[in-house]
Amino acid sequence: LSYCLNSYNDNMKLFIFVLDSIPASLKKIPSHAPYLLIGGGTASFAAARSIRARDPGARVLIVTDEPDLPYMRPPLSKELWFSDDPTVTETLRFKQWNGKERSIYFQPPSFYINPEEFDSAENGGVAVLTDKKVVHMDVRGNKVKLDDDTEISYDKCLIATGGVPRNLQVIERAGEEVIRRTTLFRKIEDFKSLDKASRNIKSITIIGGGFLGSELACALGRRCKTSGLEVLQMFPEKGNMGKVLPEYLSNWTTEKVKREGVKIISEALVKSVTYKDDKLEIQLKDGRLVKTDHIVAAVGLEPNVDLAKSAGLEVDSDFGGYRVNAELQARSNIWVAGDAACFYDIRLGRRRVEHHDHAVVSGRLAGENMTGASKPYWHQSMFWSDLGPDVGYEAIGIVDSSLPTVAVFAKATAKDTPKAATEKSGTGIRSESETEDTATSPVVSATPAPSEQQHKDDYGKGVIFYLRDKVVVGIILWNVFNRMPIARKIIKDGEEHADLNEVAKLFNIHED
């Protein structure tokens, strides 16, 4: 069906613009949603699924300012870069480390109901309003206003607005030419634009040594081996993941990233960025000068709390994000989940977490509580990072390199890689909270150990314990997989341990 949207007479000629679909601005938007979810990311989708599981006839409306249906973000900096498919930026399908293919979208369009049919859907369902931003929240009136002045009332509301990538002030002040050649990596469009840029330029510099920066450095480093692209990574710490890993392991990780073809510039504090002679010039505070074609600023995330003022919601002064209780509640009928939630962890205290698995766990819990569960946040979410298919780690709790650590390592075998772990489990996104997988009992592998000599500092696999007041508050499983429930129990128990070598034996890291 075609709709005549506009016609006018100009110099006696009639121009009629006909489109095959109504633009979003003219589509009928539901005036009321029993369940309104603000934000279209992982937390929102997990909440929608949870609400529908407990209330099968529920009508759930997701409002997102992105043009896309809910999708998972981790593959944007991980598996998508390792795809051999030249059309990957269009298909957004990727092979997981286990060889199975999937889309980054949680569900196909057919899973959702049309927003125009929202009020009449007999069995309820989940509808998504894309390209719409909630700009004002009337908590007393139980309604929100969109950027086109449309109002939607609600019974229960979830704020899952995620975060906005931080930028460096020196880049923001550097002018249009620099900003145009800088990527702040977060969304599908950022993946597409960086992929395109990396194929058409000679040099990319990643600023940031955390999870995102290191993953992108490894991904682009692999590409540089075939395309000649120069990939540089700079950060203020001494080594990659310096804020998370103990120094010796950070140094080892840095060497691993270098072997991927990345040039590392450590202890780098950016003083200024200028555009000169078709190049970006990054001037460091110690006098070093780096010339590059493009910058990726991976320097953290700012929780999106734009609605705090109009809603009268409290923002945590220490961690950022909306301050909520242990049930993720900000007010009697408003919940917050994902990156934007500063919640009370009944084991580890007040926290804000920016990881996929936390988005799944907190979104699901918020959805349950929106349907009357009244459950506190007790499940410790995990997170993971892969430096390609061969080195990866999973972590839980508070992992901060400023804390004292005790680590136990063992020699790795061929099965101790992210690729082998996902082949065994059959899951690609390593979030047991999403897949509902439970750890299996360790099985002795018949795979022989690698024939090449293992270097004494080659930390093949191991367990790193992070301590606060002699109690384990965080654990990293380094190339050790399917053991997260054990780590979770150790943190939940909150006991002092006289000998952590004995505790490490629970993870069976010494088995071949």
46, 135: one domain: yes
Q: Give, as one character, the DSSP assignment of residue 142.
A: T
Confidence band of 391 (pLDDT split at 50, 70, 90): confident
Question: Is residue 149 located within the same domain as residue 196?
Answer: no
pLDDT tens for 225-278 read: 778 899 999 999 999 999 999 999 999 899 989 988 999 999 999 999 999 999
Say if 261 falls within a structural domain.
Answer: yes
* pTM for this model (two decimals): 0.86
Q: Are residues 214 and 242 in the same domain?
A: yes
Is residue 133 domain-shared with residue 111, that is, in the same domain?
yes
Q: Are residues 359 and 389 in the same domain?
A: no
Q: Which of 301, 317, 337 is the last residue of a domain?
A: 301
In 10 A of CB 100, how many CB atoms? 13
* Residue 18 covered by a domain: no
Task: Clarify whether residues 464 and 352 are in a common domain.
Answer: no
Please tell me whether residues 256 and 280 are part of one structural domain.
yes
Q: What is the DSSP letter of 114?
A: P
> Is position 308 within any domain?
yes
Where b means 16+ CB within 10 Å and e means fewer, 386-415 reads bbbbbbbbbbbbbbebeeebbbbbbbbbeb
Among 189-203, 215-229, 340-354, the range scoring the smallest mean pLDDT is 215-229
Q: What is the pLDDT of residues 83-132, one digit of tens each?
A: 888 999 999 998 876 778 999 999 999 999 999 999 999 999 999 999 99
Average the pLDDT over 58-79 and give the result.
Answer: 96
For the ranges 24-38, 200-214, 444-458, which has the lowest average pLDDT? 444-458
Domain contains 89: no
Statement to judge: residues 179 and 151 lie in one domain: no
* Per-residue model confidence as pLDDT tens digits over 393-430: 999 999 999 999 999 998 877 666 666 665 554 444 55
Is 75 part of any domain?
Answer: no
Of 34-48, 143-157, 223-237, 284-298, where does mean pLDDT reach its minimum? 223-237
What is the C-alpha to C-alpha distance for residues 426 and 342, in angstroms, rounded to an integer? Answer: 33
**Given this model, what pLDDT does residue 408 score?**
94
Point out the domain boundary residue: 371, 392, 409. 371
- For residues 413 and 424, membership in a common domain is answered with yes
Which span out of 249-253, 383-387, 472-476 was modeled with the highest average pLDDT?
A: 472-476
Distance CA 105, CA 125 (A): 17
Residue 427 sits in the same domain as residue 325: no
One domain, residues 59 and 128: yes
Instruction: Tell me, yes or no, whether 283 and 270 share the same domain.
Output: yes
Q: How many domains does the chain have?
A: 3
- The domain of 333 spans 32-70+105-162+304-371
Tell me the CATH number at 281.
3.50.50.60
Q: What is the dihedral of CA 70, 76, 77, 81, to 10 degrees?
A: 160
